[in-house]
Amino acid sequence: MKINLPGLCCVLLIAPLLVVAGCTGSPPQPSPAPRGTAAPAPRPAPLPVPPRTAPPPPLPASAALPDTANWRDLPQTPGQWTYGAEATGSAVRFGQPGAGSLIVLRCDRTRPAIVLQRAGFGSAQVPATITTSAAVRRLTAAPVGDAGTVRNAAIPFEITFNVRDPLLDAMAFSRGRFMVEMGGAQTLVLPAWSELGRVIEDCR
């Protein structure tokens, strides 16, 4: 059989070209993923707002103390203290010579107690206040006498102290003076003399 040389030569020349073409071709690249924006992070839930509440009511104001800012400027009550012994102890009285006592501080060893006594009006207890340079105290004065048949007559009122009550020392050692107020009676601004301390020591 006769070989067709020209045709064979063409086949032999074309085949290598096809192989080379197949080897040199670059493989298909995957298409890039489409660009997109990242999903925003979820916002945190807002914190709950506490409901508005009414402001707490103001604390009740404590009972105001008497205005003692200028009590030392008040004129001193005229008179002087006089010390004397008694059957139940001793007493110091304040007043003007020849007149009745405005106030008495008495040591009563029979109780034992120290008693402040002064004249007042009415038949019921009345408020009283003693003011010194170191202390202010509200007290109650009790009637110990009988007005009898005389209308609006003054009767004795008493404030009783334990013999160790520190208010007694505050009165005796007040800076120059102390003040005694009692409902229905004159306010007394009294000098702090040594006679007061003497009566107090008599009961201790």
Chain centre distance of CA 190: 32
Q: Tell me, yes or no, whether 33 lies in a domain.
A: no
Is residue 167, in this structure, part of any structural domain at all? yes
Alpha helices in 50-185 (DSSP H): 166-172
Q: Tokens 């003076």 identify what position?
A: 177
Q: Which two tokens stand for residue 41?
A: 């992070």
What's the pLDDT score for residue 60?
Answer: 37
- pLDDT band of residue 45 (cuts 50, 70, 90) is low
**Which neighbouring-strand residues pair with 120?**
155
Residue 161 near residue 180, CB atoms below 8 Å: no
- The values of phi and psi at residue 36, to 5°, are -145, 160
Q: Containing domain of residue 109, as a range?
A: 72-202
99: in domain: yes
User: Do the domain assignments include residue 127?
Assistant: yes
pLDDT of residue 107: 96
Number of domains in the chain: 1
pLDDT at 155 over 90: no
141 in a structural domain: yes
CA atoms of 81 and 94, how far apart (whole Å): 4
Calculate ∠ Cα 89-127-131, nearest 5°.
70
Asked whether residue 23 is assigned to any structural domain, the reply reads no
Within-domain flag for 183: yes
Question: Which tokens go with 35?
Answer: 């660009």
The verdict on residue 32 lying in a domain is: no
pTM of the predicted model over 0.85: no
| Pick from 156, 135, 132, 154: nearest CA to 144 | 156
CA distance 110 to 108: 5
Q: Residue 124: pLDDT above 50? A: yes
pLDDT confidence tier of residue 196, bands split at 50, 70 and 90: very high
Largest CA distance in the chain: 182
Kind of pairing between the strands at 136-143 and 177-182: unpaired
Encode pLDDT of 96-121 as tens digits. Answer: 988 889 999 999 999 999 999 998 88
